[in-house]
Amino acid sequence: MSKDLIAHAKRLVKSLKGNKFGGDVSIVYNPLEYAWKSHEQYLVRYGQGQKKVLMLGMNPGPWGMSQTGVPFGEIAAVRDWMGIEEEVEKPKNEHAKRPIEGFACTRSEVSGKRLWGLFAERFESADSFFEEHFVVNFCPLVWMGESGKNITPDKLPAAEMEPVYAACRQHLKDVIETLQPEWLIGVGAFAEKQLATVVKAHFPEADLTVGKVLHPSPASPAANRGWAEAATKQLIAQGVWTDE
């Protein structure tokens, strides 16, 4: 199955090449290109077999997947917990205020630290977590303004995003078909919406349950009041996890 996931990811990269973005967008990164080695290792090591739960993020954070190529890829979590540390190249156009340093980056991605930290606490090992779970991002692109400020997909013009969403939804459909999960959990409302859209379009008769957890972003006051506890309660309440 990991071979299929690799093929899907390569197809997504190809589909996203050549898209142009105006407005406030200065530079666009795609870590599936310059951090492909790490992403491929993630798929090879942890994308094997059918999964019970597929969790979906939005797009890479500046100090997480942007650096490591792994969804919510906080460096310590990827290197120390998952055991992945590959060479990361430089993007073709690098923003001076958003340098790509790969695993040498000393910044921590708070969202990733919270997400993977919860899983590391609840499961004995990464292998144990990934036996029934998998995490992907809806979109691999990172948009930045001239100042280096992050621009999220929902803030970009609909006309420019239409081909991006089409490619990303096709990729998500392919991943769902490959992993055959029972649960589709959006990490945040945006991701939940994308899951619901793909299920309605491609799996209307399938026995799939769409849900969500609070996004672990530090920009969320609710997440800052105890994200791990809140997310655990949500997953238990939805029946994804049991109350151990």
Q: Tell me which H or E stretch contains 134.
A: strand 133-137
The dihedrals phi and psi of 21, each to the nearest 5 degrees, come to -130, 130
pLDDT for the residue 1 = 75
Residues of the chain with pLDDT under 50: none
What span, in angstroms and rounded, lies between the C-alpha atoms of 81 and 193?
30
pLDDT for the residue 22 = 86
Cα angle 62-170-130, degrees, rounded to a multiple of 5 = 60
pLDDT for the residue 243 = 86
Judge residue 153's burial from the number of C-beta atoms within 10 Å of its C-beta, 0-12 exposed, 13-18 middle, 19 or more buried.
middle
Domains and their CATH numbers in the chain? 2-237 (3.40.470.10)
pTM over 0.85: yes
pLDDT for the residue 117 = 98
Q: Which of 81, 85, 84, 83 is nearest to 119 (CA)?
A: 81
Measure CA of the first residue to CA of the last residue in the chain; give whole Å: 30
What span, in angstroms and rounded, lies between the C-alpha atoms of 30 and 13?
8
| Residues near 141 by beta carbon (within 8 Å), at least 6 away in sequence | 16, 28, 29, 30, 59, 60, 153, 164
pLDDT for the residue 85 = 98
What is the β-pairing status of strands 142-144 and 27-29?
antiparallel
pLDDT for the residue 155 = 86
